[in-house]
Structure 1
């Protein structure tokens, strides 16, 4: 093996071993502001505090998103299999009106918040949003147990729950 290939191999191993998903939310993500169904502003930290002691499945979605809507039956199945879990839906709809209509139209059961800052806000940037739906699992202590899944029936979600 020549010297360049050896260096590339060492770098690949080093960087792949250190590429680890976060287990806690950043200060910026925790301070990002969302909107409740009642129209009140709430920080992500306050959302987590309101559900402290519960395992959380976070679903980042939008009612205009074909994959999100198509995945809702899988979410509903997950909810049937794990009714003890708290389900938090963070919406990337374009307007709050569209968000509320989407919840009603698709009969989405859970805790709903509108992502006022959108894809590139502090929360979206922290989670590296590049696709929706996006699922995360947070344990009862507030630790991120699953940072990224794009299917509600992902085996990693089921194994953690």
Structure 2
């Protein structure tokens, strides 16, 4: 009985989060700063502006995250299957050095990379209710969030949104 009750609570929570999905980023999230590979900072708004008119896959990850590492071959396959789609990687690594080492180790140099130096409590991650990584999001050509939350690289919804 307890397992059923826990399952129902989990299902309800998931259904409520589906209904609460955002379609746009808050102004606070857009003004959050991310560190680029050259060491400079860009607002998340500027990062998104660079992809205006394109569907974008956002992958929030960290090199220490087992699920992120396990999912990376699937992400690479998606990148190969959807060559016209830019991949935006935002790392939650603890240090800039571990972030850069992770990019090389996982062989994902061919995407656009940023490091969230403020970590989990950044304005961006607070705004999107980040509670797990990896986290995949798909943004459409107009900048609208089409997929708010996927936690597995093989989620069928990712492919569905990338093919639209």
Change (3 A) 1:66 1:56: same
The offset of 1:62, in angstroms, is 0.3
Written as runs of structure 1 = structure 2, the 5 A alignment for 1:102-121 is 102-108=102-108, 109-121=110-122
Runs of 4+ in 1 over 6 A off after TM superposition: none
- Distance in 1, matches of 2:16 and 2:41, equals 39
Comparing 120-129 with 132-141, which one deviates more in the overlay? Answer: 120-129
Residue in structure 1 matched with residue 123 of structure 2 by the alignment: 122
User: Is contact 2:88–2:113 with CA below 8 Å preserved after alignment?
Assistant: yes
- Distance in 2, matches of 1:156 and 1:68, equals 18
Residue in structure 2 matched with residue 8 of structure 1 by the alignment: none
Is it true that 1:65 corresponds to 2:65 in the alignment?
A: yes
The offset of 1:22, in angstroms, is 0.7
Gaps of 5+ in 1: 1-11
Gaps of 5+ in 2: 1-11
Residue in structure 2 matched with residue 135 of structure 1 by the alignment: 136
The offset of 1:19, in angstroms, is 3.0
Residue in structure 1 matched with residue 87 of structure 2 by the alignment: 87
Written as runs of structure 1 = structure 2, the 5 A alignment for 1:10-25 is 16=16, 19-25=19-25
- Classify the secondary structure of the residue corresponding to 2:98: helix
Find the structure with the greater CA-based Rg. 1
Report the RMSD for the aligned CA atoms in angstroms. 1.7
- Distance in 1, matches of 2:57 and 2:134, equals 12
User: Taking structure 1 as the reference length, what is the TM-score of the superposition?
Assistant: 0.88
Count of aligned positions = 148
Change (3 A) 1:35 1:19: same
- Distance in 2, matches of 1:121 and 1:77, equals 30
User: Taking structure 2 as the reference length, what is the TM-score of the superposition?
Assistant: 0.86
